[in-house]
Amino acid sequence: EAQVTQNPRYLITVTGKKLTVTCSQNMNHEYMSWYRQDPGLGLRQIYYSMNVEVTDKGDVPEGYKVSRKEKRNFPLILESPSPNQTSLYFCASRTFGGSGSSYNEQFFGPGTRLTVL
């Protein structure tokens, strides 16, 4: 089954304790991205990656890091989490380039609800 998976689904942590949220897709998509969802603000892009070893900042990258060592994985790293990073996080992937009606459609993971105390 084609899917984007994230782990963990729920996480409660304390300020300053490094954490990693994993993301993996099995669709051979080039493009992957991370979003955070906050009430009234919709989804805002944190980082994206157009391919292996190619990453770039989105709209709200402060306090986050990412890496793309393999095509299927795109972990989100919070080196020193703070309470303002309490949010719902979504990983997404899609094809990049090509043509047809599937171009640009993003597939989303199930979300990770993070609470930083």
Partner 1 sequence: AQSVSQHNHHVILSEAASLELGCNYSYGGTVNLFWYVQYPGQHLQLLLKYFSGDPLVKGIKGFEAEFIKSKFSFNLRKPSVQWSDTAEYFCAVVGSAGNKLTFGGGTRVLVKP
- Asked if residue 89 binds partner 1 (CB under 8 A), the reply is no
Structure tokens at 16: 């300053």
DSSP 3-state assignment of 18? coil
- Whole-angstrom Cα distance, residue 80 to residue 15? 7
- Asked if residue 63 binds partner 1 (CB under 8 A), the reply is no
- Asked if residue 10 binds partner 1 (CB under 8 A), the reply is no
From residue 69 to residue 88, the character string flagging contacts with partner 1 as x (rule: CB under 8 A) and all else as - is: --------------------
- Pick between residue 85 and residue 112 the one whose CB is nearest to partner 1: 112
- Whole-angstrom Cα distance, residue 18 to residue 46? 17
- Pick between residue 18 and residue 93 the one whose CB is nearest to partner 1: 93
- Asked if residue 44 binds partner 1 (CB under 8 A), the reply is yes
**Reduced 3-state DSSP string for 86-107:** CEEEEEEEECCCCCCCCCCCCE
- List 1, 10, 62, 101, residue binding partner 1 (CB under 8 A): 101
Query: For residue 54, which of 33, 74, 68 has the smallest C-alpha distance?
Result: 68
Interacting residues toward partner 1 by CB under 8 A: 33, 35, 40-45, 48, 50, 58, 90, 96, 101, 103-106, 108-111
